[in-house]
Copies of this chain bind each other. A is one copy, B any other.
Amino acid sequence: MFELKERDGLARVCELTTKHGKVTTPVLLPVVNPNYLTISPKEMRDRLNVQMLITNSYIIRGNDALREKAESSGVHSLLGFDGPVMTDSGTFQNHVYGDVSVDPDEIVRFQSAIGSDIGTILDIFSEPDFSREQADAAVDETVRRGKGAVECKGDMLLAGPVQGGLFPDIRERCARDLSALDFAVHPIGGVVPLLENYRFSEIVEVIIASKKGLNPSRPVHLFGAGHPMIFPMAVLLGCDMFDSASYAKYARDERLIYSTGTRFLRDLHDLACHCPACTKTSIEDLKQMPREKRTKILAEHNLHVCLREINRIKNAIHEGSIWELVEMRARAHPSLLEALKSLKKHKEFLERFEPASRHGAFFYCGPESYDRPTVMRYQERYFNRYRKPATKVLVGFPEGTKPYSRIYSKEIAEISEKVDASYVVTSFFGPVPIELDEYYPIAQSVIPKELDSEASDRIVKTMERHAHQHGYPLAVMWEGKQTLEFLEEMISGGGRKVDLDMLRCRAVLDMQFGRGAGDILDGKNVEIVTSERTGKIRNVILDGVHALSMRAHDGRFSLKLEGGRLLMKALSPPKMRVMTDDEPAEFAAKGNNVFAKFVLECDPEIRPGDDVLVINTKGELAAVGRALMNREEMLAFKRGIAVKVKDSPD
């Protein structure tokens, strides 16, 4: 069982429940070789705060002493670890040595018998150089074995690895076929050879293809990815679990893992680390001590670094800065940067999981920042949802301090006194109508003054599209007083006062809920309550009823029930609607949250963080609230809240 707790796009913090307790993901499972304990599981638990382990059932089974102990007292007792233990099956040994002979059902039964919390099927490792035929065959056999395995797993949770080599369609097919079976976890297999050769772009393709086919309510484990360099990007793409044998393997090679790469001990002048392992020694002592002692210290260091990076990633998910973390870490190696650049191919997929807004600011980290889904979404909505006010002229301002409406207030007042105009700012995100200057991510972004030419080029292209599409009678760039004189000469009919608050309400409604949503203001007595201190919109009262509240942090509306009622009329189904069975809908109408398992249908355009309408099967409004998932997640998750109800009749 797997429950979503916090998210930033596909990156997520979840709770995984096992027979031996709950685990918070993303999680790193140190690989424990029962024949050779570099660090004992007890030490891992006590000193390193390790939540969960992975060990190899094939190795245990192949050693009489280990097998007898495991069969008689269980794998937890064998390892001396009372937390959850996952077991692998011998697939990787087959990849490396090619001589694994065990019956696929038999190894699953064995894992179940020794009390593994999560067992793994004996899948077929699909090599990166596999042909289509070979990859297809590996997937066929993996799925066949998966079907057998779910029959003999008992009450053990089972992991079904996605295979398919470098063929995205085969990976996706495998993922879909496995999702139909009773698996609890989906490792992504066959990636170790890619990792070892820094083929990060291809890992991105493999993960995304797999995620597209997988049931989103199941944890995804990037099998064999034990170096923190890849963790942030893998989590960004929706991986939840990692295992690491590298911590010990690298230690035996006298190499230290850092979040930004690996270094041989002999090349370092200082450990430059304050983990507990490094703190209790010095680099000079470390170089001179007996090898076995040194290996253990290096292994502990490596594990500390891996675990810390996972915690760093969790923090980033909570604060909504996973993109910034990934873009920063991508500088650790040019191949990682190449992988980051390749993400732009998958913007549409990533956008489906992209939150409506964030609490933290959008930090520009390089030309790749322009390819984040939030930028694409702003532009798409601007072109498809925003409706320009019917004025005679469009005045463009250059980028400036935010919010724009404040720094350009004098100019706007001057111009609008004389000319009937609309106003737009040429920003990093594209054209920003002045009334959208507080809408996420416009005001909530920090962009360097000097942009990369790549970013500038693309902004210019977007502005051209803008002028073309909206076809203003006249468009000018503001260049001071002379612009105003020019406009007065060209445009007759005099000025028109700008009602910025009214424009803002209309524009935000359209951008947030869809073109046409702004029409709920038409023919109503509109009362806009603003903050005395900041002047920002707080509440919108329509014909005397509180319908909308604007959030200060993202410039978007929270719905009151009245706002929901009006949107029901303005937006045709299924827009912004989440449908539940009638009983949970009644429950929601009393102010209770909507659990994912009760969701029957959902507007596919709803995004995590969107303000939505909860309806019953007759299409009647039950409540309004905040969606925590998109459609495919609501329909997949068995646990957790789909919509946090914010206002309801009772």
Q: What is A's interface to B at a CB cutoff of 8 Å?
A: 260, 263, 267-276, 279, 304, 307-308, 311-312, 314-315, 318-319, 324, 327-328, 331-335, 337-338, 341-342, 363-367, 446-450, 452-454, 457
- Interchain nearest-CB distance for A113 vs B (Å): 36
Asked if A311 and B447 sit within 8 Å, CB to CB, the answer is no
Taking CB atoms, residues of chain B closer than 8 Å to A328 are 260, 328, 331-332
Classify the interface of chain A: helix, strand, loop or mixed.
helix
B272–A308 contact, CB under 8 A? yes
Question: Is A333 within 8 A of B363, CB to CB?
Answer: yes
Q: How far is the CB of A94 from chain B (nearest CB, A)?
A: 32
The chain B residue sitting closest to A274, CB to CB, is B275
- Contact between chains at B274 and A274 (CB < 8 Å): yes
Contact of A367 among B311, B318, B454 (CB under 8 A): B454
**Least CB separation from A446: chain B residue:** B334
Interchain CB contact under 8 A, A450 and B341: yes
Residues on B with C-beta less than 8 A from A260 are 328
Bound complex: CA of A270 vs CA of B269, how far in Å? 30
Distance to closest chain B CB from A508 (angstroms): 26
Q: Are A448 and B279 in contact (CB under 8 A)?
A: no
- Which residues from chain B contact A308 at a C-beta distance below 8 Å? 272-274
- Of B268, B337, B449, the residue contacting A365 (CB under 8 A) is B337
Closest chain B CB from A340 CB (angstroms): 9
Assess the B453–A457 pair: CB atoms within 8 A: yes
Let me know if A338 and B270 touch, CB within 8 A.
no
How far apart are A200's CB and chain B's nearest CB, in angstroms? 10
Chain B residue at smallest Cβ distance from A338? B448
Q: Which of B314, B318, B452 contacts A454 (CB 8 A)?
A: B452
- Between A311, A319, A334, A457, the greatest number of chain B beta carbons within 10 A of the residue's beta carbon is seen for A334
Going nearest first, the 3 A-B pairs with the smallest beta carbon separation are A328-B331, A338-B448, A272-B311
Q: How far is the CA of A268 from the CA of B267 in the complex (A)?
A: 35
Q: Is the CB of B335 within 8 A of A331?
A: no
Tell me the nearest residue of chain B to A360, going by C-beta.
B267
Residues from chain B with a CB closer than 8 A to the CB of A263 are 315
User: In the complex the two chains form, what is the Cα distance from A334 to B447 in whole Å?
Assistant: 6
Give CA–CA (A341, B365) in the complex, Å: 12
User: What residues of chain B lie closer than 8 Å to A276, measured between beta carbons?
Assistant: 274, 276, 279
Does the CB pair B267–A319 fall under 8 Å?
yes
Distance A509 CA – B479 CA, assembled complex (angstroms): 55
Q: Is the CB of B338 within 8 A of A363?
A: no
Tell me which of A274, A333, A446 has the highest count of chain B C-beta atoms within 10 A of its own C-beta: A274
Complex CA gap A342/B260 in Å reads 25
How far does the alpha carbon of A268 sit from the alpha carbon of B319 in the complex, in Å? 8
Smallest Cβ-Cβ distance to A268: which chain B residue: B315
Nearest neighbor of A6 in chain B, beta-carbon distance: B269
Picked from B318, B332, B363, B447, the residue with its CB within 8 Å of the CB of A269 is B318
Smallest CB gap from A13: residue in B = B269
Cα distance A442–B43 in the bound complex, in angstroms? 47
Docked Cα-Cα span, A602 to B416, in Å, equals 68
The 27 sampled A-B contact pairs (Cβ below 8 Å) are A263-B315, A267-B319, A269-B314, A271-B311, A272-B308, A273-B308, A274-B274, A274-B304, A275-B279, A276-B276, A276-B279, A327-B331, A328-B328, A328-B331, A331-B331, A331-B363, A333-B363, A334-B363, A334-B447, A335-B446, A335-B448, A366-B366, A367-B367, A367-B452, A452-B454, A453-B454, A454-B454
- In the complex, the answer to whether A453 meets B450 with C-beta atoms within 8 Å is no
Chain B residues with Cβ below 8 Å from A274 are: 274-276, 304, 307-308
Report how far A276 CA is from B318 CA in the complex, Å: 24
Q: Name the B residues within 8 Å of A367 (CB-CB).
A: 366-367, 452-454
A260 and B334 alpha carbons, distance in the complex (Å): 20
User: Nearest chain-B residue to A279 (Cβ)?
Assistant: B276
In the bound complex, residues from chain B placing their C-beta under 8 Å from that of A341 are: 448, 450
Which residues of B sit under 8 angstroms from A337, Cβ to Cβ?
364-366, 448
Q: How far is the CA of A105 from the CA of B10 in the complex (A)?
A: 64
Q: Kindly list chain B residues whose C-beta atoms are within 8 Å of the C-beta of A273.
A: 308
A615 to chain B, nearest CB (A): 34
Which residues of B sit under 8 angstroms from A342, Cβ to Cβ?
450
Closest chain B CB from A276 CB (angstroms): 5
Q: Could you tell me the distance between the alpha carbons of A520 and B446 in the complex, rounded to whole angstroms?
A: 56
- Give, as a whole number of angstroms, the nearest-CB distance from A334 to chain B: 5
A313 to chain B: closest CB distance in Å? 8
Contact B333–A270 (Cβ < 8 Å) = no
Once bound together, how far apart are the Cα atoms of A274 and B452, in whole Å? 36
Chain B residues contacting A331 (CB-CB under 8 Å) are 324, 327-328, 331, 363, 365-366
Cα separation A467 to B262 with both chains bound (whole Å): 41
Specify which of A324, A331, A449 lies most central, judged by the most chain B CB atoms within 10 Å of its CB.
A331
- How far apart sit A155 and B70, CA to CA, in the bound complex (Å)? 73
Distance in Å: Cβ of A545 to nearest Cβ of chain B: 36
**Which one, B314, B319, B338, contacts A450 given CB within 8 A?**
B338
> What chain B residues lie within 8 Å of A454 (beta carbons)?
367, 452-454
The smallest beta-carbon distance between A151 and chain B, in angstroms, is 40
Complex: chain B residue closest to A450, CB-CB: B341
On chain B, the residues within 8 Å of A448 by CB distance are 334-335, 337-338, 341
Closest to A324 in B: B331
| Shortest beta-carbon distance from A217 to chain B in Å | 23
> Does the CB pair A272–B453 fall under 8 Å?
no
Partner of A338, one of B279, B333, B449, B457: B449
Q: Does the CB pair B270–A315 fall under 8 Å?
A: yes
From B272, B312, B450, A315 is in contact (CB under 8 Å) with B272
